[in-house]
Structure 1
């Protein structure tokens, strides 16, 4: 695999991985109106998917050129 393609995969994998971790640990939305507290439950499916895609991209970029 060409070196530029490996570099792009590595950088994209790291960015997607960091984004997935950030969306996983960011606090859930909470709103208070007077005495009522409204809390929106966080769905982490997209975070897990982003983390997985980032890891796969990093692995592909690291093992692609080895024979």
Structure 2
């Protein structure tokens, strides 16, 4: 991944993922725009997180959820 992207949550939070060399910065902001967390992770850790998110969305859709 060579560019930033932002995920938007149902509750209004945003998670911006930015590549920084060999690692990724994740910046979590509340609906009001306040920083809730900052996290730095490796490409392997980000891949696991993305897989977990994908699996959670599939499970929610299968259960009739609003994901």
Report the TM-score when normalising by structure 2: 0.39
Between Structure 1 and Structure 2, which shows a larger proportion of helix residues? 1
Report the TM-score when normalising by structure 1: 0.39
Instruction: State which structure, 1 or 2, has the greater radius of gyration over its C-alpha atoms.
Output: 1
Larger RCO (CA under 8 A, 6+ residues apart):
1
Between Structure 1 and Structure 2, which shows a larger proportion of strand residues? 2
